[in-house]
Chains A and B, each alone.
Chain A
Amino acid sequence: KAGVTQTPRYLIKTRGQQVTLSCSPISGHRSVSWYQQTPGQGLQFLFEYFSETQRNKGNFPGRFSGRQFSNSRSEMNVSTLELGDSALYLCASSHQGQGSNYGYTFGSGTRLTVV
């Protein structure tokens, strides 16, 4: 059974640009959540999509957005990149949703560096 696949693994972007990250969940999982991980702030929840609808949202500015497709694949987009957006972005999929008794399966992440 394939795991959660995130592409690309590494990205370098310039301030002001925009970026799109992709996540393919485990087959059959309907929930996809995104997290930002930085040394200073730890793991911060961005948003969760369940059956193509955003179900939960963290406290991030509107520059951060996402969507989910009918095959449960998800993308997140960050517009007008800032230096502080440099982080490891993790995607996690679940059968039912955040932390339900099925738990979460994480991808290996996309390391975004903004210069």
Chain B
Amino acid sequence: AQSVTQLDSQVPVFEEAPVELRCNYSSSVSVYLFWYVQYPNQGLQLLLKYLSGSTLVKGINGFEAEFNKSQTSFHLRKPSVHISDTAEYFCAVSDRIRSNDYKLSFGAGTTVTVRA
């Protein structure tokens, strides 16, 4: 079974500073990779996804992530954060378990707190 590890549970950061959220997953032949954001009292919103092709993926709100197959990582970055980026971020990995059926596994989440 796929496992997803988000290496930092809490990341405090100052406004306009860069941030990196780390995500590693257990190896698989082929996976789809996702980052979701959850604002307080809301559901999860898709930030970006990697399906194939370029290993650098750009998402919404200025976020980007880099897929590294050899290190089985999918780290999320933003060069300059805003107060509004304060939220919980989830890395997710999809495994194909049988034809037309996938299993989605989530990491434990990283809470980002942006301070002025």
> Which stretch, A13-21, A69-77, A103-111, touches the partner chain B?
A103-111
Number of A-B contacts (CB under 8 A): 64
The answer to the question of A81 belonging to the interface, with a C-beta cut-off of 8 Å to chain B, is no
A97 near B43: Cβ-Cβ < 8 Å:
no
Pairwise interchain contact B109-A42, C-beta atoms closer than 8 A: yes
Size bracket, chain B contacts? 20 to 34
In contact, A99 and B43 (Cβ under 8 angstroms): no
Residue in contact with A105 in the complex, picked from B46, B90, B103, B107, CB distance below 8 Å: B46
Chain A residues with Cβ below 8 Å from B70 are none
Q: Which residue of B lies closest to A35 (CB)?
A: B106
Interface size classification for chain A: 20 to 34
Residue B108 lies at the interface, judged by CB distance under 8 Å to chain A: yes
A4 adjacent to chain B (CB < 8 Å): yes
> How far is it, in angstroms, between the C-alpha of A43 and the C-alpha of B46 when the chains are bound?
15
Contact of B46 among A98, A100, A103 (CB under 8 A): A103
**Residues in A neighbouring B95, C-beta threshold 8 A:** 99
Q: Is the interface of B mostly helix, strand, loop or mixed?
A: strand
CA distance A6 to B42 in the complex (A): 11
Closest to B39 in A: A108
Query: Is A106 within 8 A of B94, CB to CB?
Result: no
Write the B74-116 contact mask toward A (1 if CB under 8 angstroms, else 0).
Answer: 0000000000000000101111000011111011110000000
> With A42-B106, A42-B108, A107-B43 in contact, is A99–B101 under 8 Å at CB?
no
Contact of A99 with B103 at beta-carbon distance under 8 Å, contacts A43-B90, A109-B42 already known: yes
**Which residues of A have CB within 8 Å of B51?**
101
4 extra interface residue pairs, beta carbon distance < 8 Å, beyond A99-B95, A99-B104: A42-B109, A98-B104, A100-B94, A104-B104
Q: Give me the interface of B with A, judged by CB distance under 8 Å.
A: 32, 34, 36, 41-46, 49, 51, 90, 92-95, 100-104, 106-109
